[in-house]
Amino acid sequence: MSGNYYYTIGLEVHAELKTNTKMFCGCKNDPQAALPNTNVCEVCMAHPGTLPVANKDAIKKVIKVGLAVGADIADFTEFDRKNYFYPDIPKGYQLSQYKLPIVSGGSINGVELTRIHLEEDTAKSSHENGATLVDYNRAGVPLMELVTEPVIHSAEQAGAFARELQRILRYVGASEANMEMGQMRVEANISVSKDPNVFGTKCEVKNLNSFRSVEEAIKYEVARHIDLIESGEKVIQETRGWDEVKMETFSQRKKENAHDYRYFPDPDLPKLYLSELFNNEELKKEIPEMPASRRARLIQAGLKEDVTEIIISDPSVATYFDEVTTGKDAPYMTLAANYLVADIFGLLKKEARDIAPENFPPATSFKVLLDMIQAGELSSRGAKDLLPLMLADSILDVKKTAEEKGLIQKNDPEALKAIIQEVLAENPDQVASYKGGQESMFMFFVGQAMKKSKGSGNPQLFQELLKEALA
């Protein structure tokens, strides 16, 4: 709600599926190929006399997404022809699903889903010097379309939904869902009304390719609708685009309705009885723990919400973290999360390397490091000195290297007492200031002791012994 206005949002999300071949032919599924129009054939270019064959793996991936979100999986389904005439569709129609989607219902982040269906992607169009260029490498790529119920009521809720969907797609292995590469595109249907029980005129904003764009486009459209209503003008049902530079929407075309597409069942593709092709109970076993469950588990273990979101955002990172921390207590998990997100991620970013488990230290080595820290054998300083070496050498013997480089933390009270006595003897003025009431000098002594021990002294033990020496 904004002032006396209520606004309602429904999302349509398209995601390119991660399969070896296109949806209805044997062409390589690689819409990002360097050379345009190389992954094409007679089928995806709609040459006369060719027949499509449905990609079984694409259907399987859509079913797995449906199972992951608690939806109903159809037994009987079919593909329809969605008729329209643009250069990005060679056939003059798109093979899609209308009345009989593969997936119905389910929810993500509390947002109810209407359906998830399967179709083929269109070609990529670009406009240069007054001409339109079309690359058909993307034409025919398997495309999953997810439609929500109109139950979203804020830009932030829409953005959170899209982020969670991206995670789910990655977790089940359905899509990389990289928005910058066009692998996931969001369309927002927005209406504004003074009556919470009545929808206003709907406008659709197409091809939003970042989470920020999703949120900002919705905010802009809501404000635009309210301005029109306040000025006594009518909101026109239409399709609009989003200008990322101007941060505003613009009119593209009158919004089509379903009947405009003249849907009818495709006669060249067989009807599908999915229970004859897949065992849903077996498919469930292939689905890993979902982001929502993982999030709740890690937060319950004491991890901060922002750190948790970073870890669960990538399923491979989340799996690596579980490999390191399974069976460990909450303090250990917090320690692991902090060193992973702050130190390992930081080092990889500095070296311009991908934040990916293949660039992390082996889980076994990372566990040795954490065990040594928790046991007091290795200081934070020592750990930070070891980590770059661990990133550079995957077979590094962590404990041996720590010993060779003098990084093993000294916990011998007598040795540390000797260092403290040296520090106090070298800084009589500071000792006098401390005893005169300047308590901030205490950490100065700790710092000097750590420096003298070359970072190998146990800082907690130094503090305890210093209190005794200064008493």
Predicted confidence (pLDDT) per residue in 167-196, tens digit: 999 999 999 999 999 999 999 999 999 988
Distance CA 185, CA 175 (A): 12
Distance CA 432, CA 1 (A): 64
The pLDDT value recorded for residue 137 is: 96
The pLDDT value recorded for residue 257 is: 63
DSSP bridge partners of 128: 131
- How many other C-beta atoms lie within 10 A of the C-beta of residue 266? 19
Six token digits for residue 428: 């009589």
Going by their DSSP bridges, the two strands 131-135 and 142-148 should be labelled as unpaired
Q: Which residues, 6+ apart, have CB-to-CB distance to 235 below 8 Å?
A: 192, 200, 201, 203, 225, 228, 229
Question: What Å distances lie between residue 195 and 1, 7, 157, 223, CA to CA?
Answer: 11, 9, 21, 17
Predicted confidence (pLDDT) per residue in 75-132, tens digit: 999 999 999 888 899 999 999 999 999 999 999 999 999 999 999 999 999 888 889 9
115 within 8 A of 98, measured Cβ to Cβ: no
413 within 8 A of 461, measured Cβ to Cβ: yes
Please name the amino acid found at residue 102.
I
Based on its alpha-carbon atoms, the radius of gyration of the chain, rounded to whole angstroms, reads: 30
Please name the amino acid found at residue 198.
V
Predicted confidence (pLDDT) per residue in 385-427, tens digit: 999 999 999 999 999 999 888 888 767 678 778 888 888 889 9
Distance CA 115, CA 407 (A): 58
- Positions of the chain with pLDDT under 50: 1
The pLDDT value recorded for residue 145 is: 98
The pLDDT value recorded for residue 409 is: 73
The pLDDT value recorded for residue 81 is: 96
Of 36, 76, 78, the C-alpha closest to 54 is 78
pTM score, whole prediction: 0.86
The pLDDT value recorded for residue 431 is: 83
Distance CA 409, CA 447 (A): 15
Q: Which residues, 6+ apart, have CB-to-CB distance to 245 below 8 Å?
A: none
The pLDDT value recorded for residue 449 is: 83
Of 185, 149, 217, the C-alpha closest to 9 is 149
Distance CA 270, CA 407 (A): 68
Of 14, 453, 61, the C-alpha closest to 208 is 14
The pLDDT value recorded for residue 109 is: 96
Residue position matching structure tokens 């003074």? 194
Of 39, 16, 34, the C-alpha closest to 182 is 16
Q: Which residues, 6+ apart, have CB-to-CB distance to 165 below 8 Å?
A: 13, 15, 108, 146, 177, 184
The pLDDT value recorded for residue 46 is: 92
Six token digits for residue 260: 């405009």
